Amino acid sequence: MKKINFIIFFFIFAFTISFVKAQETIFEEARTVYKREQAYGLIIHTSGWGVNYRYGLYNSGFTRRIFEGELVGLKHPKEIQSFSSIFDTSNGYVFGKLNTMFLIRGSVGNQKTFISKQSVRGIAISMVQNVGLTFAYAKPIYLEVIKIETIENSVVIERYDPEKHNQANIIGKGPALRGLFSGKFYPGLFLKAGLNFESAREATGLNAVEVGAEFDLFFQDLPIMANELNRNWLINLYVTFSFGSKSTE
């Protein structure tokens, strides 16, 4: 967790410094009236990483309505990588982990620019607020386990069951895609608020870094771990690197 937080704030600091130095990116944006924009982004948050897509419709030169979709991975803070003591070449696995969790989010919100590019060396700073639905998808974990037979032992792939699998008979993690379509969805609500720092060398380009906080609330606990307390809410800090374009049509 501390390592992820350090990476996030390092990227925030480095990107902000590069914007301040890039004075040549300033252009007369106020003369252009945009109607829409779209951007693709990479998200790094305190529980994992993912991708997003944002589509914006301008209400004025400083406000826009935004529609956003995100797909991110989610890790439990108590996940610890383990290795089998039986085989040196075994795959690592997380003991006690029931499901691999993905979050699928759809939201709508507003983005309001309160500092234009002309004011701060070519950087536009805006506030983003989103609300929407989130769906956690729990993909079951499969493991390679050793079966003790009367004649000889064999290795099989089984869905993790804390009642019968332990560190004595687990060899390693099974195929990553096993059980991909046999998972379960957990619906919930999603809120996000952040600051967006935008700059680009071309007037129709869009390069931005966004930092903020996300809150997910589910209607039941998310079954990530078998031996740890799971919960139905999440709070994450995030940073998003976005690249896209603006249009006047």
Interatomic CA distance for residues 191 and 152, integer angstroms = 55
Task: Give the pLDDT of residue 122.
Answer: 76
Which residue, chain included where needed, has tokens 């937080």?
5
User: CATH topology for 2-18+35-247?
Assistant: Porin (2.40.160)
Give Cα separations from 92 to 49, 58, 88 (angstroms).
20, 48, 10
Task: Give the pLDDT of residue 197.
Answer: 95
Interatomic CA distance for residues 167 and 79, integer angstroms = 15
Looking at the chain, the whole-number percentage of residues with pLDDT higher than 70 is 81
User: Torsions phi, psi of 167, nearest 5?
Assistant: -70, -10
State which residues of the chain have pLDDT below 50: 13, 15-30
Which residue, chain included where needed, has tokens 């951007």?
39
Interatomic CA distance for residues 65 and 54, integer angstroms = 10
Strands 205-218 and 63-74: unpaired
Give Cα separations from 106 to 69, 132, 179, 206 (angstroms).
5, 6, 24, 22
What DSSP designation does 8 have?
A: H
Q: What is the pTM of this model?
A: 0.81
- Taking only the tens place, the pLDDT of each residue in 109-124 is 999 998 887 655 678 8
Helix, strand, or coil (residue 118):
strand
